[in-house]
Structures are given as structure tokens and as C-alpha cells.
Amino acid sequence: MQPSLNQVWAWLGEVPDPEIPVISVVDLGIVREVRWEGNELVIGVTPTYSGCPATSVIAHEIKSALQSHGVQAFRLETQLSPPWTTNWISDAGKERLRAFGIAPPTARGAKIYCPRCASAAVAKVSEFGSTPCKAQYRCLDCLEPFDLFKCL
Amino acid sequence: MTALFEYLLRLGDSDLILSHRLSQWVGHAPAIEEELALGNIALDLLGQAQLWLSLAAQTANDGRDADQLVYLRDAGEYRNVLLVEQLNGDFAHTMTRQFFFDSFHHLLLGALTQSSNGSVAAIAAKSLKEVSYHLRRSRDWVITLGDGSEESHRRMTTAVDNLWSYTGELFQMDGIDQALISTGVAVDLAGLRQAWLRDITTTFADAVLTTPQNDWAQRGGKRGVHTEHLGFLLAEMQFLQRAYPNATW
């Protein structure tokens, strides 16, 4: 029997991002579509940054999740258009990022708050951080460094 | 080979070679933040190269994939512009090369988002977002270094003098461009030149640098005639596949 699409979305909602495991690939907005084509399940995924090394790991984890739930016939389809944007990160996902110590993306020019002490007194250290999607900041109040998920 | 295949190689190869050049900074950058930045930009460009070269491989449909295009072509088959294969030199040289390319790249991708070829337009739209912050950063560095100390200004002036003659090729076109422009796939590169010059001139004014007036251009990269530097770069990049053919991991 074919599992429902809602069921498939729920399964994928439990697949963590390999770099930031507190957030799922669904919360991150990289699973764009789930559909049945006859007996084959098609998962449309979009890369975050085009050079993100996690992309192939994510594909692998999605495949493992589907297999562990007994789905035999499926394929992953890369969808480049429209390009991924941080606006697709769910509100729950943004909250989990903050709790994890990563300031969630904000619109360009909007205020950035320290994920630890919520102070708005922060300074940019570098536009680039430990992964393509993050920038380095530091808090001028609690003095802790933190990552900002860049707005794309 | 079709015009589209050649055109995709030009797009992919310039990204790939510049990516490799930037990655050569890793372990040598002047500060840890710059190290991360150069590595991240290299990674973006590598991802973009992979998208273009995968599409090229799909277009040629001759059994080669993107990896084979990268690791098994010799210098004469590479189609990147000469600018991106130039040596890193000092940090001023690297940033000047980057700014010249980023400014062009941003205009090119912006125009390619309107391509009549859906795959080309999608890759351009995806890449454009990343190149926007590449450009922001290289422009900032050009201003910081040009309008910095006497030493940084001197180094920037030398870099501009050394690299300027490689910028004309960015806008050079031939029959491949013409064939694809007529079907709406490609972009009229000559038409981007004015906007590029405006960007350079405005930024150089802030950086207290002089925009060279000489428009004599080195050319040849797009048809496989390269400077001596590309061969050395490929020898390093392709070593593993050449020494251990078909090695995988």
C-alpha cells in the first residue's frame, strides 16, 4: 500500500540537516515537493548554496529514511528553480536555530540579536563562517561569538 | 561540438579555474576570517562550475560526466578566460582579479536569468544570489586597500596594471556567442561592457585608484589558447586522475 503524502512529509520532517542537526531538511525548506508518479515516489529537493558539501549527504539521508520506512521505488529530483531562499526556513526551524546558538536569518538591514542573551549590540566579524550559509558575529554585551545564518 | 556545449564550457571553466585559484589560498591567507572567506567563495564557484559542466555533459551526451570534463581535458580544451588563471600574487592582486571578475560575473548572470534556455536561466538565478555577496566583498576590499596605507595603495596600483589587459577578453565574442544570441540563449557580452566600466570607475574613484584607459586586450582563453599558468594549475588539479585513472572514493 502506498503511504500518504502527508505520511512521507512527516518522515522527511525527521531527517536532520547533517551540519545543523537541530533542524530538519523540511524545516530548512530544501524538500520542495513530494508526489507519486504511478508507483514511484518523487522527492523534489533544492540545494541551499550551490557548493554546499552537505547536499550529497542530505540526498543520502533522505534515501535512507525512505528505505527504512519500506519505500522501494523512489527517485530524487533536483529543482534549481526557483532558487532556495532563507525565507523558506520555517518559523519552528528559525526558533530551533536560535536555541542551538545560531542567529536565524533576518532580512538584509534588519536588526540581528545575540542568540544567547538577545542583545542587539552585535558586531560583524566576517561575512563568512564555518559553512557557506553562515557569517561570524560577536555579541558586545555577553562577549560571546556566534554564527548568523546568512540571508539568501 | 555544438555551440551550446562550447558556451557552457566557457561558463563552467571560468568558475572552476577561479575556484581552484582561490582554494590555493587556504593555509596561506593573512587572517583566519579571510581564509574562511576565500575558501567559501571557492566552494560557491565550484558548485556553480558543477552545475554548468553537468549541463554541458548532458548537452554533449557523449558518455562523459562533469568530473571527466574537469579531470581529463588538457589546457587546450579548457575555455576559461585568461583573467581567472592568473597567479594569486599578493592579497591585493587576488582581490583585484576577484573584483574584475565578480563585477562582470554579476552582470553576466543577471542577463542570463532571461535566457530562453530554462536550465541556463535556472543556474544563472541560483548563482546570481551567491555572486552578489562575492561582489560586495571584493568591492569592499578594493576600496579598503586602494584607500588604505601607502603600501596597500602601491600594491593595488601594481595589481591593476598587471591585470587590466586581461579584462577585455571578458566582453569578447565570436561565432558561438552570435549563434546563441540569435536564439535568445546567450548574452550580448559587448553590451555589458559599459555597465562594467561604470562599476569599476565608480569603485576606483572611492578607492583612489586610476581606471586605465588602455583597452588593448590579451585574448585566447575562450578558444583554448592559454597563458603558461593554466598548465601548471591543471597538472596539480588533475594529478590523481592522471596518475590513477578512474580512481573513485
Q: What is the pLDDT of residues B28-48, one digit of tens each?
A: 988 888 889 999 999 999 999
Looking from the CA of B243 toward its CB, the CA atoms found within 13 Å total 7
pLDDT for B65: 95
pLDDT for A126: 87
Q: Are B153 and B210 in contact (CB under 8 A)?
A: no
| Nearest to B36, CA basis, from A101, A58, A56, A150 | A150
Maximum alpha-carbon separation in chain B:
55
Rounded to two decimals, the ipTM of the complex is 0.86
Mark yes or no for CB contact A50/B50 under 8 Å.
yes
Cell readout for B121 is 536561466
pLDDT for B11: 98
What is the reported pTM? 0.93
Percent pLDDT > 70 in chain B is: 100
CA distance A4 to chain B (A): 31
**Neighboring chain A residues of B248 at a CB cutoff of 8 Å:** none
Cell readout for A23 is 533542524
Strand, coil or helix: A12: helix
Q: Binning pLDDT at 50, 70 and 90, where does residue A104 land? A: very high
Res. A2: pLDDT tops 70: yes
Res. B1: pLDDT tops 70: no
Residues A142 and A152: their CA atoms lie apart, in Å, by 27
Average pLDDT, chain A: 92
pLDDT for A127: 85
Q: How many CB pairs under 8 A join A and B?
A: 67
Q: What is the pLDDT of residues B204-245, one digit of tens each?
A: 999 999 999 998 999 999 999 999 999 999 999 999 999 999
Q: Which of residues A20 and B189 earns the better pLDDT score? A: B189
Q: Which amino acid is at A9?
A: W
Q: Are A29 and A90 in contact (CB under 8 A)?
A: yes
Strand runs labelled E in chain A: 31-37, 40-45, 74-78, 102-103, 122-126, 134-139, 145-149
**Neighboring chain B residues of A81 at a CB cutoff of 8 Å:** 118, 121-122, 125-126
In DSSP terms, which residues pair with A41 in a beta bridge? A36, A74
Interface of A with B (CB under 8 A): 47, 49-53, 80-85, 125-130, 132, 136, 150, 152
Mark yes or no for CB contact B36/A126 under 8 Å.
yes
Strand, coil or helix: B199: helix
Using the Cβ of B45 and the Cβ atoms of chain A, whether some distance falls under 8 Å is answered with yes
Helix spans in B164-227 (H): 175-182, 193-206
> Between A53, A83, A129, which is nearest B125 by CB?
A83
Give the chain B residue whose CA is nearest to the CA of A127.
Answer: B37
Res. A33: pLDDT tops 80: yes
Q: What is the pLDDT of residues A46-73, one digit of tens each?
A: 998 888 888 889 999 999 999 999 999 9
